[in-house]
């Protein structure tokens, strides 16, 4: 049984009021709230184990190092990476993508070579490559999406691949549309052409089980703060063979083997990509967040969040003049429709935990501002996805996004709030 009341007790912030109204927090795609399980563990480390890692022979340093490296192993198991050397700690998904963009382009690409992304990408998976285009003369191309926000993989990818394509970088789940992209199919097609794939897992890792070996992606990036962990910590998974090929992203302490005035040699994996003092308390917090997710269980979490997503879309569709963007969850479209070659039973619906919408001519900022006065926290704007907004022909949306602690009653409050705001206009 999914005891939502017990779950919510672990998140004291959910009990607070905003403008005299109970807080309804529906901005989880931006960041999730943190359970006491995580906060208490981090506080305990600062109080009792605080010391720099990897550098000291004294007790506290060794204890902190043990916690830090135990967190790396915890992450490895969480995404089923083959080796601990394949887990690189970063500040988040954005830095992980920038790391790959910088190091991959420096060592693997020439002017005129191409990176392929999609129209639904977050800016972090666009601008990172555009910066390399300005520096190194590479070309950034994008895969189109359908009007309801999906990729039709094989035809689209093979049409856009050329002999110059060196890497495909794609979101696992769209932060605007909630579209679950068929990354296993994308990886399969790419590998048929000898092309590596980077998957942005910022919106997937918090919501359903990720298995990087089964996916066979070459790189996978995600953030701690979107999965009930602390801010400022993230993970880049990279296949060992690729990480060995790539040069360091930054220079400094921790990532060196030996430094002389003539030459520097670099540490073994994964440390050559981790310059400077890591946020070792945050890595411990991330490990505890993973423990928390596992204690509840992804099957239970996924079922709960899918029920919320379906219920939200059904209720929103009762509001006059509403437009919901992305795949229609209520029609039961399944991932296998876009992955026919896998010959697998569908395991995921096509949309997950995110619903973006507009109502009539009401500006998304006005809707979000007035909902806030009712205690309802949603996201408004372009959601760091302006090219997607251009594709949809809008300036922005209102976005409600769900986590393991949200309830149908909160969705009822959201729908009532939207109706109240719509009446004002």
Model pTM score: 0.94
Share of the chain above pLDDT 90, in %: 88
Name the pLDDT band for 1 (thresholds 50, 70, 90): low
Show Cβ contacts of residue 424 under 8 Å, excluding neighbours closer than 6 positions.
370
pLDDT of 347 reads 41
What distance in Å separates the CA atoms of residue 316 and residue 178, rounded to the nearest whole number?
A: 16
Distance of CA 404 to the CA centre of its chain: 16
What distance in Å separates the CA atoms of residue 108 and residue 219, rounded to the nearest whole number?
A: 15
Q: What is the mean pLDDT of residues 59-84?
A: 97
pLDDT of 153 reads 61
Residue 98 reports pLDDT greater than 60: yes
Query: Is the separation of the CB atoms in 368 and 398 below 8 Å?
Result: yes
pLDDT of 368 reads 98
Could you report the per-residue pLDDT of 174-196, keeping only the tens digit for each? 999 999 999 999 999 999 999 99
Residue 346 reports pLDDT greater than 60: no
Inter-CA distances, 142 with 126, 203, 320, 386, 389, Å: 9, 20, 34, 14, 14
Residue 353's Cβ-side half-sphere holds a number of Cα atoms within 13 Å equal to: 31
Q: At which residue do the structure tokens 């109080």 appear?
A: 47
Share of the chain above pLDDT 70, in %: 94
Residue 339 reports pLDDT greater than 50: no
pLDDT of 79 reads 98
DSSP notation for 45-104: HHHHT---SSS--SHHHHHHHHHHHHHHHHHHHHHT-S-GGGEEEESSHHHHHHHHHHHH
3-state secondary structure of 327: coil
- For residues 249-283, one letter each, b for 16 or more C-beta atoms within 10 angstroms of the residue's C-beta and e for the rest, the string is beeeebbbeeeeeeeeebbebbbbbbbeebbbbbb
Q: Residue 270, preceding bond cis, omega within 30 degrees?
A: yes
Could you report the per-residue pLDDT of 222-238, keeping only the tens digit for each? 999 999 999 999 999 99
| Residues labelled as active-site residues | 384
Q: What is the mean pLDDT of residues 5-31?
A: 97
Residue 5 exposed, middle or buried by CB count within 10 Å (0-12, 13-18, 19+): exposed
Write out the two tokens for 349: 């619906």
DSSP state of 173: B
Three-state SS annotation for 276-295: CCCCHHHHHHHHHHHHHHHH
Q: At which residue do the structure tokens 């994964």 appear?
A: 270
């Amino acid at each position: 049984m999914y005891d939502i009341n017990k779950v919510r007790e672990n998140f004291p912030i959910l009990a607070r009021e905003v403008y005299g109204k109970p807080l309804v927090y529906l901005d989880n795609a931006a960041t999730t709230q943190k359970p006491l399980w995580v906060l208490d563990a981090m506080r305990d480390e600062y109080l009792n184990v605080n010391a720099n890692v990897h550098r000291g022979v004294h007790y506290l340093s060794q204890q902190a190092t043990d916690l830090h490296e135990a967190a790396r192993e915890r992450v490895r198991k969480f995404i089923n990476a083959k080796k601990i050397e394949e887990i690189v700690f970063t500040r988040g998904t954005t830095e992980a993508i920038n790391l790959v963009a910088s190091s991959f382009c420096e060592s693997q690409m020439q002017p005129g070579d191409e990176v392929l992304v999609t129209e639904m990408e977050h800016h972090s998976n666009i601008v990172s490559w555009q910066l390399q285009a300005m520096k190194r003369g590479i070309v950034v191309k994008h895969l189109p999406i359908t009007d309801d926000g999906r990729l039709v993989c094989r035809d689209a990818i093979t049409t856009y691949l050329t002999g110059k394509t060196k890497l495909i970088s794609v979101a696992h789940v769209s932060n605007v549309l909630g579209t679950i992209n068929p990354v296993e199919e994308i990886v399969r097609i790419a590998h048929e052409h000898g092309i590596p794939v980077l998957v942005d897992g910022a919106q997937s890792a918090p919501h359903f089980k990720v298995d990087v070996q089964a996916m066979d992606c070459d790189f996978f990036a995600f953030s701690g703060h979107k999965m009930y962990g602390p801010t400022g910590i993230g993970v880049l998974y990279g296949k060992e063979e690729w990480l060995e090929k790539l040069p360091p992203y930054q220079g400094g302490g921790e990532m060196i083997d030996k430094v002389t005035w003539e030459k520097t040699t670099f540490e073994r994996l994964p440390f050559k990509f981790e310059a400077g003092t890591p946020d070792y308390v945050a890595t411990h917090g991330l490990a505890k967040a993973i423990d928390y997710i596992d204690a509840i269980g992804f099957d239970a979490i996924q079922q709960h969040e899918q029920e919320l997503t379906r219920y939200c879309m059904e209720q929103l569709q009762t509001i006059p003049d509403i437009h919901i963007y992305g795949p229609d969850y209520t029609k039961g479209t399944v991932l296998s429709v876009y992955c026919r070659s896998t010959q697998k039973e569908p395991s995921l619906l096509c949309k997950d935990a995110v619903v973006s919408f507009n109502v009539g001519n009401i500006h998304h900022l006005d809707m979000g501002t007035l909902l806030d006065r009712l205690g309802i926290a949603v996201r408004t704007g372009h959601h760091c996805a302006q090219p997607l907004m251009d594709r949809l022909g809008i300036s922005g949306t209102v976005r409600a996004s769900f986590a393991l602690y949200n309830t149908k009653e909160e969705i009822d409050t959201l729908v009532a709030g939207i109706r109240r705001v719509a009446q004002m206009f």
